[in-house]
Amino acid sequence: MRILGIDPGYGITGVALIEAQRGSAQLLKCGAITTPAGQEFSARLVTIYEDMRALLEQTKPEAVAIEELFFGHNVTTAIGVAQSRGVILLAIRQAGVPVFEYKPMQVKMAVVGYGNATKHQVQDMTRRILKLETLPKPDDAADAIAIALCHARSSTSLIAKAIKGN
């Protein structure tokens, strides 16, 4: 299964495409959609939307896994990320690709086995799972890989739930 992982943001949106089959995964590509800090915010959203549409067309994923919004202390940043997630989700729906959303704790649990794992622990385990010499940069791309891996490890239980009608 080709899974596109997305770590949403408005300055940097991390993206990663993996191929996952029966407990193994391979990184196909990763990177980031970036927008300039000084650019008008609505123009940044257009860039994110258009780049996401192009990425979905190029990579043709069978599923998209995206991190749910986490509200920290900076509400202004959270609102911007929420708007970015909105245009990303719109592009995914328009492409007709199933989308699955995961909380940060779910990603940590799926990748490390511990819901309170540190960012470093998640990145190190991601590198080990994919047998990479170094973890891709920027960190947002590495986070997108972890989100894709989370879906790869969770998808069998999601499929089982769908079959049972839960």
From the CB of residue 141, how many other CB atoms can be counted at a distance below 10 Å?
22
**Which pLDDT score, from 0 to 100, does residue 163 have?**
43
Question: For the whole model, what pTM was predicted?
Answer: 0.90
Per the structure, the count of domains in the chain is: 1
Domain hosting residue 113, numbered range: 2-164
DSSP 116: T
- What is the rounded distance in angstroms from the CA atom of residue 20 to the CA atom of residue 45? 30
Q: Is 95 helix (H, G, I), strand (E, B) or coil?
A: helix
* Per-residue tens of pLDDT for the chain, all 166 residues: 999 999 999 999 999 999 998 878 999 999 999 999 999 999 999 999 999 999 999 999 999 999 998 766 667 788 889 999 999 999 999 999 999 999 999 999 999 999 899 989 999 999 999 999 998 889 999 999 999 999 999 876 555 445 445 4
DSSP 62: S
Residue 105 tokens read as: 């704790």
pLDDT tens string 29-58: 999 999 999 999 999 999 999 999 999 999
**Which pLDDT score, from 0 to 100, does residue 160 have?**
43
- What is the rounded distance in angstroms from the CA atom of residue 34 to the CA atom of residue 141? 11
**Which pLDDT score, from 0 to 100, does residue 154 have?**
86
Please work out, in degrees rounded to the nearest 5, the angle formed at the alpha carbon of residue 63 by the alpha carbons of 57 and 65: 105
- CATH number, residue 157: 3.30.420.10
- Active-site residues: which are they? 7, 67, 140
CA separation, residue 66 to residues 13, 89, 113, 128, 164 (Å): 11, 9, 19, 22, 24
Q: Is 137 helix (H, G, I), strand (E, B) or coil?
A: coil
pLDDT tens string 12-36: 999 999 999 887 899 999 999 999 9
H helix or E strand, kind and range, residue 30: strand 24-34
